[in-house]
Amino acid sequence: MVDPALLFEQLFNGVQYGILLFLLAAGLTLVFGIMDMMNLAHGSLYMMGAYIAATVTLAADSFLLGIAVALPATLILGVVLEVIVLRRLYDRGHLDQVLATFGMILFFNELVRLIWGPEGIEVPLPTILNQSLTLFTIPLPIYRIVVIAVGLLVAAFLYFLVVKTRTGMLIRAGASNREMIGALGIDIKRVFTLVFGLGAALAALAGVMAGPIFAATIGMGEHILIQVLVVIVIGGIGSIRGAFVGALLIGVIEILGRSFLDDLFKLFMPVNAAETAAPAVASMLIYILMAGVLFFRPQGLFPARSG
């Protein structure tokens, strides 16, 4: 039988991973929703955020300073990319967008290899975060609790921004009918640069927080990007709410699948077969879920735009 303490611990880890996915998905889904723009290089911003933070953290021996430098630096990088390249791609087909941003991924991965070398960077945590709280004999690392708290704050902030402010109103209007709000005299390009910068900063935040958990490595961006795409597809393109629900769902399934699927399979399979099949199925679970969601709801769980 599954140990409830272990189950709770992994559930906790799944939520924490889901929060990371959400930080990436939120920016990406807004960019998708408003400009109908497919940006594969979002993962590169996540990677750059992680590397910049890791470098500063190690050099200055301060995790906080690492965050303080990485966020604005990545935000600026994102805005520069938007102005130099991405802006030219809005009127193009998705294929052009995919290819150009694919070119960016190649560039950034190689740039990181050139500057930081092929080895990843382990990011140390300040001692204050490097401890565990114990809840009913279950140890919960403080750092992961902080990650979850930060993610929830960001979610609340985004909800407020999108639902309660004028900027949010423009974002929502842009998502449902770009031409119309342009015709009403709103400079949608400026709104978009803002959203893109915000997305870049959120990607960097995710990268910074992922650093101490997974270490900063080349290719970290693409690995998580694919899962983020699954989140967005499941949640519905352009929907922050969908991104949040989708991210938690994927995070929990991904972590629980890897931890418990073999136990589950052993209930009705020979041990050997279960141990072979479980990791294979676990790595496919989220894609199977996505296929299922799309089969019944091709527009995702929370479609943002009608038509």
Give residues in contact with another protein (CB under 8 A).
32, 36, 38, 85, 88-89, 92-96, 98-100, 102-111, 113-114, 222, 226, 229-230, 232-233, 237, 276, 279-280, 282-284, 287-288, 290-291, 294-295, 298
Rounded to whole angstroms, how far apart are CA atoms 226 and 234? 12
Alpha-carbon 80 to chain mean position: 21
Rounded to whole angstroms, how far apart are CA atoms 195 and 185? 18
> Long-range contacts: 93-97, Cβ < 8 Å, 24+?
94/38, 97/37, 97/38, 97/39
Cβ-based nearer residue to another protein, 191 or 229? 229
Q: Residue 96 Cβ, how far from another protein at the closest point, in Å?
A: 5
Q: Residue 171 Cβ, how far from another protein at the closest point, in Å?
A: 19
Q: Residue 266 Cβ, how far from another protein at the closest point, in Å?
A: 17
CB atoms closer than 10 angstroms to residue 242: 25
Cβ-based nearer residue to another protein, 182 or 279? 279
End-to-end Cα spacing for the chain: 48
Cβ-based nearer residue to another protein, 1 or 114? 114
Cβ-based nearer residue to another protein, 38 or 220? 38
Rounded to whole angstroms, how far apart are CA atoms 159 and 101? 28
Q: At what angle do helices 220-235 and 240-266 cross, to 10 degrees?
A: 110
Q: Output Rg (C-alpha) for the chain, integer angstroms.
A: 20
Q: Residue 4 Cβ, how far from another protein at the closest point, in Å?
A: 27
Q: For 17-72, what is the HEC assignment? A: HHHHHHHHHHHHHHHHHHHCCCCCCHHHHHHHHHHHHHHHHHHHCCHHHHHHHHHH
Instruction: Decide: helix, strand or coil at residue 121.
Output: strand
- List the structure tokens of 96: 């052009």
Cβ-based nearer residue to another protein, 160 or 287? 287
Q: How far lies 263's CA from each of 23, 173, 276, in Å?
A: 31, 48, 12
Cβ-based nearer residue to another protein, 96 or 122? 96
Q: Residue 140 Cβ, how far from another protein at the closest point, in Å?
A: 29
Q: Residue 295 Cβ, how far from another protein at the closest point, in Å?
A: 7
Rounded to whole angstroms, how far apart are CA atoms 116 and 100? 24
Cβ-based nearer residue to another protein, 111 or 129? 111
Q: Residue 179 Cβ, how far from another protein at the closest point, in Å?
A: 16
Q: Residue 116 Cβ, how far from another protein at the closest point, in Å?
A: 12
Cβ-based nearer residue to another protein, 132 or 283? 283
